[in-house]
Structure 1
Amino acid sequence: MKAGLRAPRSLRTRLVLIATVLATCAVLLCQTAGLTVLRSWLTDQVDDQLADFRPPRRMYEDIADDGRLRGPRNDDVLPSDYRVYLYDSDGRLIDDSLGRDDDRGPRLPAAAARLNLGDGVPTTVSAATGDGSWRVMADSGPDRMRAVVALPLDTVDGATTKLLWFSAFLVVIVAAGVALLGNAAVRLGLRPLSRVEGTAQQITDGALDLRVPDPDPTTEVGRLGQALNTMLDRLRTALHCTAASERQMRRFMADAGHELRTPLTVIQGFAELLCDDPHMPAGRRGEAHTLIAANADRMSRLVDDLFLLAKLGHAPGPHPEPVDLLSLAADGITSTAVRRPGRTIALEPLPDGEADISGRELDVVETVGDADQLAQVVTNLLTNACTHTPASARIRVRVGTIRTSAATGGLDRLGRTSAAPALPPGTQVAVVEVADTGPGLSCEDARHVFDRFYRAAPSDAGEPGSGLGLAIASAIAEAHRGRLELDTRPGAGCTFRLLLPVH
């Protein structure tokens, strides 16, 4: 296709062009119909005049007597526009005619046999001279004579010509008006779409925080704007999640590298020391071996924790089996007391105000899940409480069932932190609480307490943790369709609450 015939690419130009063509075609159609009706009506008027006129009988008598027309030839004898032509009995056209004595007249054959006119039937013939036309009607007389009455169509042609020029002028005016006014109307109507286009271009250029103007949702442009805004919100959410995931991954890799570097450095240092000094005293050699073994064990536990986190994130859900949380808590307390004989840990039921069944001591609190993983959660919570509280602090483990609410647990509120979403309000859940009377955590520390490798304070027991215990416990709770949350404030201790669906 040539460049000059290429279709316009602009939507506004196409709309204006289509509107102009349609309006022009509509005007042409209306003017053509009007022109046809007007010409038909005027021609009918001429036909009525021809039908009302009858040639006088005297004309036929004059022709029969001497073959010539006699009588006055004044213009006022017949209507000024009429012409009457006669054919004698032999079918020859008489030179004389009734009417104005000028060269104007219809083109008629010299013989009546070639006339091809029926009596009383009007017909249009061309003019003998010029470009005009005449309306003629034949009439039969005595002795095979015939008369032809003619009226010029100058009035009809003039009226239709003027109307034709007026129609052409009107078509030009309409086309120009539609093109100008239509362009303004289309520009005004497409202004919301132009704003959407401009905003989309800015977003394409990198301004991802912009939103498409949201006009009337009942219009096509409004629905387009809403759809684009929804798409942009999802895109921004996906980008933020991707960026947060990348930041978390980089931080995770940095923290993992840092945590693994410390024991590796210790192992490498003592190994080099043993290699460089083969005559080292037995006491120092034993101490070096002990430190190497301790750091190797620390590194092994760190790798196991990382493997467990990866397994929780990608492995199938836990093997479902009934688990008695009361027995699980008692076993966790026993194992912790063996490792930390100086700590005071009490096992209690939930207070009556929080328990689902008030005033009744619950002997069995059952849920469905993996007993080993849930035991690890309890052990991690008890280890965390013992590690980050003074030796004089009391630790209480409370077991029971509740219905989720902002007061009892399971829902978010001020001072409560969790890495998992809130549970539906009023859901009956089994609870294991580990509460201490330690110093508590600040708001900043509480927000990151479930992050991997996060440590709020140095260990008091001289056993540096990996910062993965609470992250692992939270991941296990989510894998069991539950939630691990923390209620704390500075000076008021910490209460970690494990909520799981009841059996």
Structure 2
Amino acid sequence: MRAIVGGARRWLSRVSLPHTLRARLTAGLVVLLAVGCAAVGVAAVVELNGFLTGRLDQQLRAAGVRFPASLEHGAPLPSDHDGDEDGDTRRQAAGTFGARLVGGAVTNAAVVSSGHGAGTVPVSLSARDARKLAALPTDGEGRTTELSSLGDYRVMAVRGRDGDVLVTGLPTESVEAAVHRLELVAAVVFGAALAVAGVAGALWVRWSLRPLSRVAATATRVSELSLSSGEVTLPRRVRESDPRSEVGRVAGAFDAMLGHVEDALTKRHASEERLRSFAADASHELRTPVASIRGHAELALLHPDPVPRKVVRALERIEAEASRMGEVVDDLLLLARLDAGRPLERRPVDLTRLVLDAVTDAQAAGPGHRWTLELSEEPVTVPGDAHRLHQVLANLLANARLHTPVGTTVTISLKTDAPTGDRAGNGTAGGTTGGTAGGTAVLEVHDDGPGIAADIRPKVFERFTRADRRRTEDAGGGAGAGLGLSIVAAVAEAHGGSVTLAGAPGSTTFTVRLPADGESGSR
């Protein structure tokens, strides 16, 4: 039993089933109908064969042993014989077979030639036929056997009055012809019925599953939408009119789910818009008081009269913190403007010149670090906002300087990846503006410092994320507030580019990719 079940499973695993529900339902309907038709056809053939075979047995019993008894004295009787009832061959159907066996050996065998009383024809039986006839039980029941010279016969054996065995048989050709004809008719009719049922079933299933197809189409359109940010307009609802059906309940549940998702997205978008507006308004409003505090602190430090040392120290701290707060406010205002989708300046920017200037500033701010440059032979130029791109470079270098110990080597590389098929042997395009047209400018900042902790890497570009909370007192700008890398990501995205991090203990690499075609960076 286990072997049968295992074989069935292996066969089902090899069978290629239809992929769509509509095809599976149609195929299942056709298979079930085919099984039903096959069962009806087999039952009809078996019943007809049994019925006709029973009729042959009735004819054999009605004929009795009259014809084989006529062979008891030797040759078969002539057609005009008018002897006793046992030898009357005129009542036998054409093709009736008769044989007499004595001691298991066939003494005489003949077949009625044609019609009633038309005569008999002797039959020569092979040794195999003789053994078959000798093995027949003499119980008066019909059995089917094959005679080499005659074909299939329905035969019946009884004991004669002299102790011999008398065998009577009728040909099964008429039964086989009727059964074969029924099989042919059943195959044609059932085949046509299966074809019609398959087409009609496919149309019916297609019509019945139309709401489900609409649900699938709507779900596909929803899956293609970008739901991560911004205002999203969901597709129109399925609106199935019959909620009593299974498909109607699925469509109704799907419509309700879309409604909840749309409400949640609308509320989230409204909340984000309020938050952006608040950040922008707060940053804008804070710029004036922060500038005022810084100005008053500077003015107090310029007072000509003697000022206590503690007061001078306090004023210096007020000035430094006011300066840092001003930079944080500027960063928040920049992020709010980028979130609002405000366009940046679009002019050709020489990235090579920006890198040189930013590294020079970084060397002055971090003389204890080793700064190395790897630049392409030709200048790399991209369209964008020079001030914001310089801010990207400054933030990346400040991040490497502030979060690595003295003696760390920081490597800045700049190159161009030309489009596939246009790359030169060294992968660097020549020229200025034309040298990077259609390619991608790749900026990498690598350091061999301690690296970024694994739990910080996934959210390193999120706002107010700090890899090290122990900041130095003079750690100013976005880097100290946890906004530096978020500004890098926002500015790169505003230019149509991206920034990625590849980190491991002892190695950290930030890679900025900016399009140089001047189109994908537009917002």
TM-score (norm. length: structure 2): 0.47
User: What TM-score, normalized by structure 1, do the two folds share?
Assistant: 0.49
**Max Rg structure:** 1
Greater relative contact order structure (CA < 8 Å, 6+ sep)? 1
